């Protein structure tokens, strides 16, 4: 074979080899880019899911506090009803005279108690509906798909919130009832003082609920915030090592914090249990 042909074939072979190498390099680069893109997408998905849980539980806390504002008009209405100057149904009545029969006075006060008890229950139902409408209880499902161990953590957080809410409701109805019924034996009915006692009872119920709810939210936020700022590599490594996210145990039980209520606004106010 002529030398020039051998040289030409050799150059062609070299070019072919280079072409193969370049193609392989391009394929590897594309493959690595696709892997990095998938990994980045997965890490971003974890961050997004964690951020959604943080946002939703903070929103849940915010909505849970609305009940105390919602019932303020009802507190005023119940105070007026107890004095029987006006009823929620719009019927007009004469003010209670100190000389009236004690049974009449008691019936007015009991009617106010029943009215406020009912209004608090309805305000709580509206509150629960707001949370359902915003799908706060289902916001954790996205995080489960990435971090299965987060399921129990977030479920325990939800149970703690519900426990605190349930205990608050029981205390709220009990405390306002105690203030109203405490006025059944008063010879001179002081509507202003009853209103002050009721508002004091509501505020005294709110404080421990607010503090306990804040602790629950803070534990969730403190646990998930590191995920939001973690690198892709840290998140991906944690996904392959169960327990690395630190979501194995939720500590806050939801039992309301014991707080001594502020001094009552007057001696006629019923003392609240600690």
Given a cut of 70, is residue 167 above it in pLDDT? yes
Q: Of the ranges 62-71, 129-138, 218-227, 264-273, which is most confident?
A: 62-71
Structure tokens at 244: 């690395």
Task: Give CA–CA dist 220/151, Å, rounded.
Answer: 12
Q: What is the pLDDT of residues 60-81, one digit of tens each?
A: 999 999 999 999 999 999 988 8
Of 257, 66, 253, the residue nearest 161 (C-alpha): 253
Position 271 in a domain? no
- What percentage of the chain reaches a pLDDT higher than 70? 74
Position 7 in a domain? yes
Position 263 in a domain? no
Residue 173 lies in domain: 3-239
**Average pLDDT, rounded, for the chain:** 79
Position 252 in a domain? no
Position 248 in a domain? no
Position 140 in a domain? yes
Given a cut of 90, is residue 118 above it in pLDDT? yes
Confidence of residue 85 (pLDDT cuts 50, 70, 90): very low
Neighbours of 139 (CB within 10 A): 20
Q: How many domains does the chain have?
A: 1
Tokens 């406020």 belong to residue: 116
Confidence of residue 17 (pLDDT cuts 50, 70, 90): low
Mean pLDDT throughout 163-181? 91
Given a cut of 80, is residue 135 above it in pLDDT? no
Position 186 in a domain? yes
Structure tokens at 237: 């490594």
- For residues 45 and 103, which has the higher predicted lDDT (pLDDT)? 45
Position 274 in a domain? no
Task: Give CA–CA dist 239/33, Å, rounded.
Answer: 20
Mean pLDDT throughout 210-239? 88
């Amino acid at each position: 074979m002529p030398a020039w042909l051998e040289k030409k074939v050799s150059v062609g072979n070299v070019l072919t080899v280079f072409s193969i190498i370049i193609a392989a390099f391009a394929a590897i680069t594309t493959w690595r880019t696709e892997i990095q893109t998938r990994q980045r997408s997965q890490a971003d998905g974890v961050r997004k899911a964690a951020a959604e849980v943080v946002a939703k539980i903070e929103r849940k806390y915010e909505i849970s506090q609305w009940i105390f504002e919602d019932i303020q008009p009802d507190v005023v209405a119940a105070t007026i009803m107890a004095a029987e100057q006006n009823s929620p149904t719009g019927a007009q009545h004469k003010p209670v005279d100190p000389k009236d029969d004690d049974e009449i006075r008691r019936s007015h006060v009991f009617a106010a108690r029943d009215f406020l008890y009912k209004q608090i229950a309805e305000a709580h139902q509206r509150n629960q509906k707001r949370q359902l409408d915003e799908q706060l209880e289902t916001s954790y499902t996205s995080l489960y798909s990435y971090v299965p161990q987060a399921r129990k953590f977030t479920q325990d957080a939800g149970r703690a919130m519900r426990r605190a809410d349930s205990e608050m409701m029981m205390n709220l109805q009990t405390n306002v009832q105690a203030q109203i019924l405490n006025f059944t034996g008063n010879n001179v009915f002081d509507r202003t003082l009853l209103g002050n006692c009721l508002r004091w009872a509501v505020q005294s119920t709110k404080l421990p609920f607010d503090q306990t709810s804040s602790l629950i939210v803070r534990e969730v936020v403190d646990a998930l915030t590191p995920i939001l700022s973690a690198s892709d590599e840290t998140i991906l490594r944690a996904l392959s090592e169960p327990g690395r996210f630190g979501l194995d145990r939720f500590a806050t039980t939801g039992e309301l914090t014991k707080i001594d209520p502020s001094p009552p606004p007057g001696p006629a106010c019923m003392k609240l249990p600690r």
